[in-house]
Each structure stands twice: as structure tokens, then as C-alpha cells.
Structure 1
Amino acid sequence: MPVLMQARRRDERHRAATPLELFFDLCFVVAVAQAGRQLAHGLAEGHPGHGISGYLMLFFAVWWAWMNFSWFASAYDTDDVLYRVVTLVQMAGVLILAAGVPRAFAHSDFTVIWFGYLVMRLAMVTQWLRAAHGSRGAERRTALRYALGVTVCQIGWLGLLALPEHDIPWVFVVVGLLELAVPALAERERQTTWHPHHIAERYGLFTIIVLGETIAAATLAVQSALDRNDALGTLLPIAGGGLLLVFAAYWIYFAVGNQPKEYLNAEAPPGSWPNGADTSGASSLQFAMQGAGRYVHHAVGAGIDRGIGAASTGDAPHRDADAGRQLAAATIHRALRRDEREGAGPCGSHAETPAAVANADAGNGAPGYV
């Protein structure tokens, strides 16, 4: 029988990602891979503007749906039968969305994508309504505002179907900003009880899965090129450079080390971070927006393999080669500079305390994992 959905404690000990959440992430990576393939086709056909803009728009849609689920689950995951069934419906929605990606890129037909997004968001609204049913007062009003905000935004996405093709980017900009505003409006009275360590782990795990998909797709691209061309002298540097890019992307994200529990200081009382900053008056939007930088990181990481594939098959225009080398150099340079800034040694050890590391990232105002 379904249990009453109530908020989980923010100071809950030993909170970790569940197998259902990991399964959920795998389905989202399928959609990311589909968008990446269309990006590769756009680059190969000499239309980088269309490919990159379409990729970033679709990646935002997938990434924001993942964000919605992850932050909700951090506060309200009951892991009962009803919760699992609704989550499986969300997973079905993202797979429907993934199936519509090629049609959206080729013909600007967003019907299948919109329907897949509708399935995901209606499931999310159901979760928020269930949370409202199990709560009272300000917490109930917060859940209801979330349900209303998600519904209004989904109606806004109808612009993808109703407006002319040249207006589609503006639909993404306007409705995307509305999507980002929902947490601020919903939590203006009371914030949800998301778990800091759990959220940090969720971001990190999604990054690992995206980079894993990147390595798998790049490996298949190089293998395909080897089957058609035995020029190892050309392919091996491309494969090696691509692998170095993935390693650098990993290094940039996890520059604060490999012990998130120490960094986030799970022993700290609710309402404070390891650097002593009081978060009692902050909404989850403030910390979700720290993840906006991770949107760029995830999007770039997921797109690396497409560049490797285009280069290894010889489909990419030669004029992009210098830009690719510059991107690689900039990525590796940033990884090394950030590692130096964080005070990490060659094996990832840190001379500074977790508080000093957090303060070194004070420009972000939140832990480096988020």
C-alpha cells in the first residue's frame, strides 16, 4: 500500500542514491546520446550553428527534467510501489523524447518530443500533488506551487508546435526562463528539505554516466573508422586526444577530490555548509543555479565523443581542426589550473582543509560538486 509522502530530514545520515535513481539516469543518457548524434550530423554536414543550437536546446530540456526529479527525490523519495511506478512513467517519457530527437533536428517537428516531455512532467506534477496531500501549511503550499508551475510551463512548451520554425529558439529562451523561475516562486515561503550530500552525489553520478557514454560512443566511432581505414598514424592521435579530453573533463568536475562526504561535512548541522555559510534562509534555487554551470559541463562532456567521431571518420570540415585543438588545450589547461587553485597534489590529495577548499570556490558560493 502507498505510504503517506512526507518530507525527509535534511540531516538524515548515510543518505545515498538509490538503484532506481541510477536506472533513471541511464534512461536520460539515452536521450543525451540521441541529441549528441544529431550534433555530430550537423557538424559533419557543415551546419555547426544548427547542430550546436539544437543540441543545447534539447539538452536543456532533458537536463532540466532530470534536475526536477533529482531535487524532488532528495526531499520526498518514499521508494514505495506508487513512487516507483510514477518514476518508471517518467523514464518512459524520456525514452519517447529520445525517439523524437532525430525528427526535431531534421524537420523541426517537436511533436514527439513535446509528448514525451508531457509524460515526464505530468508524472512530476503527480508526485508534487502527492507531496501536497501528505503535508500541511507552508510545505503544502510549496508543493502546490511546484505542481502549478510545472503545469504552466508545459503549456508554454506548446509554442514549439504552434509557432513558426524561426520562433522556436525564442520559445526555448522564454519558457526556459520560466522553468528556472519555478523553484524561486514555489519556495518563496518555505524551501524543500533536500539533502546536501545526496544532491552532490546525484550530480557527480550523472557526470560519470555521461562521461561513460562519451567513452563508449567514441570507442565505437574509432572502431568504425578502423574498419574502413587502416591509417593508424592518423586515428591513434585522435583517439588518444579524445580520451585525454574526457579525462580532463572528469578532472575539472571532480577537482575538489574524491571524498564528497568529507567535503560536504555530513556531520554539519542543517542550514550550514562546510565553510560555515548559513543556508537557513536560502532556497534550493540558489543551489540549483550552481548546477547551471554543470549544465554546460554535462553538455560539453556529452558532446566530446561526437567531435571525436567526426574527426576519426573524416567527416568534420578541416577548418574545425584548429578549433578542436584549441578547445582541447583550453580544457586541459583549465583542469590543471583549477587543480592548482584547489591545492591538489598529483594524487588528488589536498593541503587545505575542506573549509579552505570551499572558500577557494567562493565565487560559486556552493560546494564544487554541485
Structure 2
Amino acid sequence: MTADGHRGALYRIHAPHQHSRVTYAELFFDLVFVFAITQISHTLLAHFTPLGVLQTTLLFLAVWWVWVFTSWITNWLDPEKTPVRILLFALMLGGLVISTSIPQAFESRGLWFAMAYASMQVGKTVFLWVSTPPSQPAARMNAIRITAWLSLSAVFWIAGGLAEGQSRLLLWAVALGIEYCSAAARFWIPKYGASQVADWQVEGGHMAERFGLFIILALGESVVVTGATFSKLTWTIETVSAFASSFVGTVVMWWIYFHKGAEAGSELISKSSEPGRLARLAYTYLHIPIVAGIIVTAVADELVLMHPGGHSDPKTVLSAIGGPMLFLLGTILFKHTIRGFLQLSHGAGIVALGILAWFAGGMSPLLLSIATTAIMVMVAVWESFSLKLATAGSA
């Protein structure tokens, strides 16, 4: 077989409206990021200060971006092929180094975090470049552009890992800014210009399923953290009530995302003439607040379980209100992208949470948790009935 034929065997040519299932290798890879999400939520819980929140946010955005880029690459390459599987297993090792470095990323393990991150980003993109056959010149040039951007950001990641204190935060923020702007700039590089949206042809159904499964993993992490905390506590009326509120809140988040939104997104991107553009906006960017909201809510659930009585302190209020608000903000924007209109139920939920924030300091953590869960239930029921009525009216 020629070199071109070998590379072509790895690179997937997507047929229109084709749907490729998510592979077991991809699911296996994603398990590392369950651990990463747990590390992020625990780090936020342990460093809930303005600086700690800023640092944890940067780490979350880095973890999200390395996962997102891997998802794009496994959409372009065939994960059932042995070389691509080996790539995923190597990336899993890098992901474990990143995950275990998160709690001390701004202390003693900054260089480990930076080296693992930069190696994963640049390494897999070079692999994509080499695996893309010359018969796909646009896709190959796209891989070269991505490699150039990630190589530039890698310099700042490593420099930040070698630096200390605020210099590390600044250098890593620059590195992250380069990577997040790269897709929006369509990976423009001097002389060769920017990629075309047509160069980002993806299999939409696979992409939607991939992100949906990540949401399930994030929700599953929330269940695991809540269950582990609850198992160590004395079971009183307050702790049992807090546990029940947390569980219902997680189920409602699943309902809001998956009841109609995920299915509609999968259908739209599968039929879209520009799936790359939709994947970049609706999934790569707009899923950030959705996942962040789930993580912050998990922090709130743990705080409430540990101290359900008394008055709510600022970090309990911020996490209990901020988590659901981030989640609703992400889902309303995501659903606007796929439906073309803003969900009134989600907007009402955001307003209700904002009003609740004014009174939250005087409420017990348990009562605050129950109130935020009730608002989320209201959003889910309202949306379900409105969509049902809309479907009946169009029938």
C-alpha cells in the first residue's frame, strides 16, 4: 500500500448525512476527563477565592479545549484504526498527567501540566497532518494551520510552566487566548490565509453524540461526588433533604439538555450544509457554560451537603446560583443556535435565579438548594409543555 493509501485509510471521507457512532476507544479516552472534571471541582472547592476562581477557570478552559480538539480529530480520523487508537491511548496518558497536576498546577506541578498539555495539543495535530492524504489538500492545509497556532501557544504554555506566581497565570492566559481565538480566526496564518468552512467538514451526528456523552460524563461526575460526600455523613433529615435536592437538580439538568435540545442539535447538524460552522459555534464554544454550570453546581451540592443549616456564605450563594445560571445561559444559546429562537422558559429561569440571589444570603444552604432546584424543575416543565403544544399546533 502506498503512503497515500495508508494515510487515506486513517482519514475519513464523510458522506452527506452519514452518521458514524461514537467508538469504544473514544468512550475509553473520555473516562480520563471524568477524573479531570472531579479534580477541577475539588480544586475550585478548595480555592474559592477570586484568584482561585480565576485560576480554576483557566484550568477548566484548558481541559475543555484539549478534549474538544481531540473530538474534532477523531471525527476526521477513524478511531477504529489501530494507529488512531494508539494515539488515543497516548493522549489518555497525557490526560492523566494533566488531571493529576490540576490541584497544584499553579504551584509545584505547573511545568508537568504545561508539558503534558502542549504535547497533547501539538502531537495529535501533527498526527492529523501526517495522516491526511495529499489527495485532500484543503484538509491537509487545515491541519498545517492548526499545528502552527498550537505550536505558538505551546511556547507560552511551557514558558508559563517555568515561571511562577502571577507570571504563570498571565502566560497561560495568553496561551489559552491564542488557542480560543484560533478557531474563530479560522486558523489564519501568513501567506496561506485562513481555512474555509468547507475545510472543516465533520460528521454532524457523531459530533453531536460525542458532546452529548461528555455532558453525561459531567453529570455523572456530579452524581459520584454527591454520593461519595453523602455516604460519609450522618443521615439526618437535613442531609437526606440536601441529597434529594442535589439528585433532582442533576436529573433536571439532564432533562433540560437531552429531552429535546440534544436531539434537535443532532438532527440539525447532520442535515446542515455547513456542519463545521455549526460544530464550532454550537458545540465547541456554546457548550463551555453548560459544562461549567454542571461543575459549579456540583461544588454547590457538596457545600450544601456538608453544611445544610445556618446562613449561606458567599461561596455557597455564588455556586448555588451561578451553577444553574451558567447552565441555563449555555443551553438557551445552544438551543437558539439550533432552533432560531430563545427559549422563554430558560430566560425566565435565569431571571428567577437573579431575583433569588438578592435573598440567598439570608437563606439556609438547604433552603437555597431546594429553591434553585425548584426553579430548574419549573424551566424543564415549562419547556416540555411549550414544545408539546407547539408540536400539537403544527400537526
Match of 1:224 in 2: 232
Secondary structure of the equivalent of 1:50? Answer: helix
Q: How far 1:326 moved relative to its partner?
A: 4.4
Amino acid at match of 1:146: I
Q: Which residue of 280, 294, 311 maps to 1:288?
A: 280
- For 2:216 and 2:266, locate their aligned partners in 1 and report how far apart those are by CA, in whole Å: 20
Q: How far 1:72 moved relative to its partner?
A: 1.7
1:307 aligns with 2:312: no
Match of 1:149 in 2: 149
Match of 1:333 in 2: 375
1:298 aligns with 2:298: no
Match of 2:201 in 1: 193
- For 1:332 and 1:10, locate their aligned partners in 2 and report how far apart those are by CA, in whole Å: 45
Secondary structure of the equivalent of 2:201? Answer: coil
The count of corresponding residues between Structure 1 and Structure 2 is 330
TM-score (norm 2): 0.73
User: Which structure exhibits the higher relative contact order, with contacts defined as CA atoms closer than 8 Å and separated by 6 or more residues?
Assistant: 1
Match of 1:248 in 2: 252
Secondary structure of the equivalent of 2:233? Answer: helix
Amino acid at match of 2:179: E
Single out whichever of 69-78 and 248-257 deviates more from structure 2.
248-257
Identity of aligned residues (%): 20
Q: Give the structure with the higher percent helix.
A: 2
Q: How far 1:212 moved relative to its partner?
A: 0.6
1:21 aligns with 2:23: no
C-alpha contact 1:6 1:134 (8 A) present in aligned 2:
no
Which consecutive unaligned segments of at least 5 residues does structure 1 have?
Answer: 272-278, 357-370
- For 2:251 and 2:145, locate their aligned partners in 1 and report how far apart those are by CA, in whole Å: 41
Taking a change above 3 Å as real, the CA distance of residues 334 and 288 of structure 1, as seen in their structure-2 partners, is: farther
- For 2:269 and 2:148, locate their aligned partners in 1 and report how far apart those are by CA, in whole Å: 35
C-alpha contact 1:28 1:94 (8 A) present in aligned 2:
yes
The residue correspondences of 1:1-370 to structure 2 (distance < 5 A) are: 4=8, 5-11=10-16, 13-43=18-48, 48-77=49-78, 79-104=80-105, 107=107, 109-183=109-183, 184-185=186-187, 188-189=195-196, 190-226=198-234, 230=235, 232-256=236-260, 259=263, 263-264=267-268, 266=270, 268=271, 271=273, 279=274, 283-284=276-277, 287-291=279-283, 292-314=285-307, 318-320=312-314, 321-323=316-318, 326=321, 328=369, 329=371, 333=375, 336-337=378-379, 340=382, 342=383, 344-345=384-385, 350-352=388-390
C-alpha contact 2:212 2:262 (8 A) present in aligned 1:
no
- For 2:126 and 2:46, locate their aligned partners in 1 and report how far apart those are by CA, in whole Å: 37
CA RMSD of aligned residues (A): 3.1
Amino acid at match of 1:185: F
C-alpha contact 2:97 2:116 (8 A) present in aligned 1:
yes
Taking a change above 3 Å as real, the CA distance of residues 56 and 16 of structure 1, as seen in their structure-2 partners, is: same
Deviation sequence 1:121-150 (CA, Å, 0-9, x none): 243123222234454432221121122222
- For 1:103 and 1:299, locate their aligned partners in 2 and report how far apart those are by CA, in whole Å: 20
Single out whichever of 215-224 and 135-144 deviates more from structure 2.
135-144
